[in-house]
Chain A
Amino acid sequence: MSFTGPLSIITLVPLLSGLILLVLPNVLPNDVSMRMKASVRNVAIGLSSAIFLLTTLIFIGTIGQIDWLSIGMGDYVLETEDPVWLIESIGVTWHLGTDALSFPMIWLTTLLIPISMLVQWDAEDGHSFHSLLLIMEGALIGVFVSLDLFVFYIFWELTLVPMFFLIMIWGGEDRKYASMKFFIYTFTASVLMLVGILVMYFNTVADPNYAGTLTGHHFNLVLMTEQSRVDGLITSEGLRHFVWLLLLIGFATKMPSVPVHTWLPDAHVQAPTAGSMLLAGVMLKMGAYGFLRIAVAMFPESTLTFVPLLVFLGMASLVYGAVVCLGQTNLKRMVAYSSVSHMGLIFLGIATMQPLGFAGALFMMFAHGIISPLLFAVAGSFKHHYHTLEIGSMRGIAHHSPFLAGHMMLGWMGSLGLPLLAGFVAEVAIMIAFWMTFGWWVLLPALTLIFTALYYLTSMQKMIFESDDPHTGKLPDTMHDEEPRDVTWHENAGMFVLGALTILFGILPFIFWDMMSAWSTEFIQTYLVHAMNMLEASP
């Protein structure tokens, strides 16, 4: 059966069990429900750890015996063998598969879910909180594994639902506004993307196996990509550009890129720690993933035509995001804008049209997926223990919370691109590719690195350092008379794992880099080189 493959399991099990765990305590009799509520978090973390283990086994080859280096775009592994009709009339199938573009993201998702549970181990109403995280896991993995655009879109929108509730119920003061803004803003953009997807759908040719009985078209991503490679999916150039732009709006809002980024800081500041970690760690990457998978792969000519736009968007996000960071006084807001800034690098990496730049962008997605959850975990713990997010409202964390200070130092350094930490590899790869394609323009992103260092160091100077006295430190007013503490064991454990991975993938990036690099070369050669040759020959 097609619902029992490994990818179906890691998608559906968390989704369904999350739903069950969410609903069951509310329908059972009171005494059973009390006991069940208490154990939900154990079940949830056990389940998500098991899924993480399963994904890791897939990665190291125990399951499926996959040679990750040999798969390019278009070859999918662990593909569902006989796709199952979901809606036969319009050609929707349950069709999953993964490759070097999506797999690191899947692994990252399965990793971040148990860690974010751990970091907010004692969340209020934990039974709903942790089961929502499980639903989130299923939805996020679904986005990365589905090879059917209809199902892809369903999962894409499904991720909004648990996140909406996470912000709405467990968020900060202004959670209502933030959650609404988050939902409506990204939903609107996704609808535009849906229009693009529908246009693509109506341009597919009838396929005997996948076409809908009623419409004669299909949502099959593999076939669509193949059709676009051979004949071009949409023949009219104007329409192609239009569809490309619609897709771009959907994906760029998700990333998010300037100027459609303002939902992010609001959502992050209000979201609970675990929500922020997943939002920054995985949800933002959905944008870059979809952009590569759909927009770039199916419309290479449009992508090449709009390279200047990509460079502009990337540069604006990177530079502007960094400068805005400098002006922030709220820790989480600053970290949120730093995400905008780093996502800009992904656009720049793609715009280089070099395998190295693509691989750098892919690695950036992954590295940022480890580092930014660490940043948000630090910000969340700070809020948890000091009840404030104002930078500079307290001094000398190094004294009161040495572990928190240590994690902060590591995370901040990782994010500003210190060598031998994960972010550097991506940064340097993108820079090299960028110089090759755009020459001296590289000075802009390079100089932005100075700003990045400046805002991170300034915030550390005002928080970790400077406490007037080696033995006391200065506490924020929000503490009242509370005794300052270091992080709790579970926060510490979560941050330790993330920190260790930041170092691990900084020193040994090739664990994921090699497959990303091989995929990028394959991808560009298969889908882009033809268009690039045409473009180079035409002027």
Chain B
Amino acid sequence: MNEQKNQEWNLLVPLAPAIALVPLLAVMGVEPIDLGFAAIAAPLAMFPVVLLIGQIWNGNETWVSRFKEGGILALSALSVSLIAGLWMVLDFLGAGEKKAHGDPLTWLDFDVLRYDGTQWNIDAGFTNISFGIWLDPISAMLLFVATFLCFLICWFAIGYMTTDDINSNRNHRFFAEFILFSMGMFGMVLADSFLWLFIFWEIMGLCSYLLIGFYYWKESAAAAAKKAFMTTRVGDVFLMVGLLMLYDIYGSLDFAVVFDNPSTGVGEAPVKASELQPALLMLFIGCVGKSAQFPLHVWLPDAMEGPTPVSALIHAATMVNAGLYLVARMVPFVDVDYYGVMGMEDLGIIIAWVGGITAFMAASIAFVQNDIKKVLAYSTMSQLAYIFLGLGSALYLMSTGHRYEGLFVLGGALFHLFNHAMAKGMLFMASGSVIHEMHHAHHELHHHDGHGPHDDHNEHFDAQDMRNMGGLASKMPVTSIAMMLGSMSIIGIPLIGGFWSKEAIIAETWLGALEYEPLLLGPAILAVLTAGMTGFYMSRMWMMTFAGEPKHNAASHVHEETLWIKTPLITLSIVTATTGALLAFFHIGEFFSSKDYSMGFDDLDVTKALQIAFLPEKRALMVVGYVTIALSTLVGPIIAMKVHGGSLKEGQEANVAVSWLVSLSAAFKTIDVSGMANSSLSDSLRKRLHFDDLYDWGISKTIAPMAKFSAWFDANVIDGIVKLVERTSIQGSHWIRTYTTGSTRDYILMAAVGALSIFILIMGVTI
């Protein structure tokens, strides 16, 4: 066993040149900002290599054992990106600049004609479309998140994917699509224009589609993949229209041009809110689709059909943040103290409402999910909604001139993005670890019981169903600790990760609602309620999985994972547990503060952070804060423990780090809720509040019949007319043929009649 592990470490040797590449480039004098090209190019170049080699050498011994069917190559490409990303971020931090912009390359060169009142001229105010690298605090943070998580989750995937028989000889496809996705994510984060942001955004959409449908033979996976692509496509089309409008207003889609002074457009013309606001709303519809918000949220839970690393990376930690990133990019447009456009309050309010509704809805649906990944999917949706809520409040506050509060909640929202990405990426990997082991345990059991090795073990047993789990705390110490820390961060247990950021979002939304705009009250109330609900469903998930006694034979036979799976869990546990401390000790707030729209923790140190969280200046906010803490830390988890808690099986011991939680839950366990589970409310929650049914019904009543009718119309009416002409002309020629009698007399007669009529015609014309 040990020997085998040593061999596994040897596999990492190909990473060495990849790791050396970026320092080498830097030594050769490549500007740090231009390393962004390397971060994008490395996975892009590796994509066809992995795909083609994998297809041609499919099943080759070396390819499988040495290269893990491309996993190692993918990892080496991602290590180039990781190091380039870290290098860029560190250089950026060190330089102390608030913005870094590489020289853009021209991509599309063209002219635009404008009517100037007297004639049409080429308008030089419209710039070409170019591509460059853009780094500011927001993209630096996301760059770190993206490169770090892509690397870790690829690492995890090598352990997760290659040990499952069903994937063998198919993994090259997984890894190729995985790095293509990573390319898309890095590109989106680094792009210096809205158009390139959109381009990479769509590339991510494609990879999401391909990876959700990785198990292509499963009907559910194929349907889920299509649903994900179509739903996001609806949003993307509006996003594209938004881009057209922006281009028309500013004559450019480059951040450098647009953000230079958002209140003037082409030729220094003042920008009207009535033109800009629809454009931004169009962009926001795209964000709603990509980040799975109400009403375009239906695709995300289905997307869990993909392999778990995909759920961890794409559908929790990176791609779904794209929408948030774009909304965060809208801040300069509304920042009225700093060249923003006046009169755009509605935008922020709409975004906050969408966030509030989605947060509440998703949390309530998460109550009744039994699939561990589905719980996490709804949790993702709900947490993303929090961030939208925060961004919406930020946009509102800044558009009304409350810049300090606005920047503060913007910082909170982006910090929540960071915390959530780390925690949720880890939670999904931990759930993957659980599923993986459950699956293997079940597989082995079947093997030993003589049920036949070829039995389709998926058929009767769902390795993702939490009702089969229980008591895993004793078997999987690393996973259980990781899951606990991740859940705590998501719930917002004081002092851990997500607490800081969520507290900021809720407090500032309440501030906006109480002091400036009553319309924000709705989202604010929903946000507090959701905090309590989050406490419940996350605790419920942990309890069902790790506490109590095993509910299925397989659950009592699991054992801990390989190093491939453990390493990223441990790394992210540390990150999750310590981000709060990071915030405080390393003055991360200073980095995020800037007058150029970024995280707004001006002069925020640990005492200030604690003060804002626990002792805000306004009494009302303090009440809200403590209610939130009470709901999320006490009420939610305790109810969850009452329902789902329980001590481990006799004789089983859990790690100290989690055993206290198990014992605590056993102490609270009292209620039996099987009656409630059958209520009509829980039934409609299980059916996801009928949104999917509604959409299916709508499509089957409109588009499907319309398509059928059009196909019929084309074949029978439009082509029918053509066929009619054909038939009549054939008949006509038959008819004309009857005049070809062959008799000279007839011909003379016809000639005479013809000549006469011509004669009469000419006479008539000349007279």
Contacts and interface: CB of A to CB of B under 8 A. Distances in A.
A185 B721 CA distance: 13
B221 A262 contact: no
Interface in B37-69: 51, 55
Nearest to B241: A446
B521 interface: no
B244 A435 contact: yes
Given A435-B245, A465-B225, A517-B111, A453 B202 contact: no
Interface residues of B, number: 61
Interface string A213-250: 00000000000000000000000000000000000000
Contacts of A185: 722
Interface string A429-440: 101111110000
Contacts of A403: 55
B174 to A, nearest CB: 13
Interface string A254-297: 00001101110000000000000000000000000000000000
A396 interface: yes
A262 B248 contact: no
Contacts of A460: 226
Contacts of B108: 425, 429, 509-510, 513, 517
A21 B112 CA distance: 50
Interface stretch (B444-452, B631-639, B657-665, B705-713): B705-713
Contact of B206 (A181, A418, A449): A418
A354 B710 contact: no
Interface residues of A, number: 74
B213 interface: yes
A59 B213 CA distance: 42
A355 B110 contact: yes
B247 interface: yes
B712 A327 contact: yes
A460 to B, nearest CB: 8
A466 B222 contact: yes
B233 A449 contact: yes
A453 B229 contact: yes
B456 to A, nearest CB: 9
B195 interface: yes
A419 B199 contact: yes
B37 to A, nearest CB: 13
Given A428-B240, A446-B241, A536-B120, A398 B109 contact: no
A130 interface: no
Contact of B217 (A453, A465, A536): A465
Nearest to B119: A533
B166 interface: yes
B113 A524 contact: yes
Contacts of B110: 355-356, 359, 429, 517, 520-521
A457 interface: yes
B120 A533 contact: yes
A461 interface: yes
A320 interface: yes
B9 interface: no
Contacts of B112: 354-356, 433, 436
Nearest to B234: A450
Contacts of A259: 718
A29 interface: no
A510 B109 contact: yes
Given A402-B55, A465-B216, A466-B222, A446 B113 contact: no
Nearest to A531: B120
Interface string A165-185: 000000000000000010001
A353 B115 CA distance: 12
B198 interface: yes
A333 B216 CA distance: 25
B697 interface: no
A520 B706 CA distance: 38
Contacts of B719: 262
A123 interface: no
A70 to B, nearest CB: 14
A192 interface: no
Given A428-B240, A533-B120, A323 B111 contact: no
B111 A521 contact: yes
A400 to B, nearest CB: 12
A323 B707 contact: yes
Contacts of B202: 418-419
B559 to A, nearest CB: 27
A454 B134 CA distance: 34
B391 to A, nearest CB: 25
A165 to B, nearest CB: 21
Interface in B225-245: 225-226, 229-230, 233-234, 237-238, 240-241, 244-245
B216 A466 contact: yes
A358 B180 CA distance: 33
B714 interface: yes
A454 B230 contact: yes
A436 B122 contact: no
B185 to A, nearest CB: 14
Contacts of B726: 181
A460 B225 CA distance: 11
B25 interface: no
B111 A356 contact: yes
B317 to A, nearest CB: 22
A513 B107 CA distance: 9
B106 interface: yes
A467 interface: yes
A66 interface: no
B703 interface: yes
B627 interface: no
Interface stretch (A87-95, A372-380, A382-390, A468-476): A468-476
B15 interface: no
Question: Max chain A CB contacts within 10 Å: which of B108, B225, B706, B719?
Answer: B108
A446 B286 CA distance: 13
Given A513-B108, A536-B120, A328 B711 contact: yes
Contacts of B120: 529, 532-533, 536
Nearest to A363: B108
A517 B709 CA distance: 40
A355 B237 contact: no
Contacts of A326: 703, 706-707, 710-711
A413 interface: yes
A533 to B, nearest CB: 5
B514 interface: no
Contacts of A429: 108, 110
A477 interface: no
B226 A327 contact: no
B113 A355 contact: yes
Contacts of A428: 195, 240
A235 B565 CA distance: 80
Interface string B128-149: 0000000000000000000000
B21 interface: no
B217 A396 contact: yes
B575 interface: no
A520 B118 CA distance: 22
A33 interface: no
B223 interface: yes
Contacts of B722: 181, 185, 262-263
17 contacts: A181-B722, A326-B706, A354-B113, A356-B112, A359-B110, A406-B51, A413-B206, A419-B199, A419-B200, A435-B241, A436-B112, A465-B216, A465-B222, A517-B108, A521-B111, A521-B122, A536-B120
Q: Which 10 A-B pairs have the closest CB atoms?
A: A327-B711, A465-B222, A326-B707, A419-B199, A327-B707, A435-B244, A262-B719, A467-B217, A465-B216, A355-B111
Interface of B: 51, 55, 106-113, 115, 118-120, 122, 166, 195, 198-200, 202-203, 206, 209-210, 213, 215-219, 221-223, 225-226, 229-230, 233-234, 237-238, 240-241, 244-245, 247-248, 703, 706-712, 714, 718-719, 722, 726
Given A431-B240, A453-B229, A470-B217, 4 more contacts: A262-B722, A327-B707, A402-B55, A465-B217
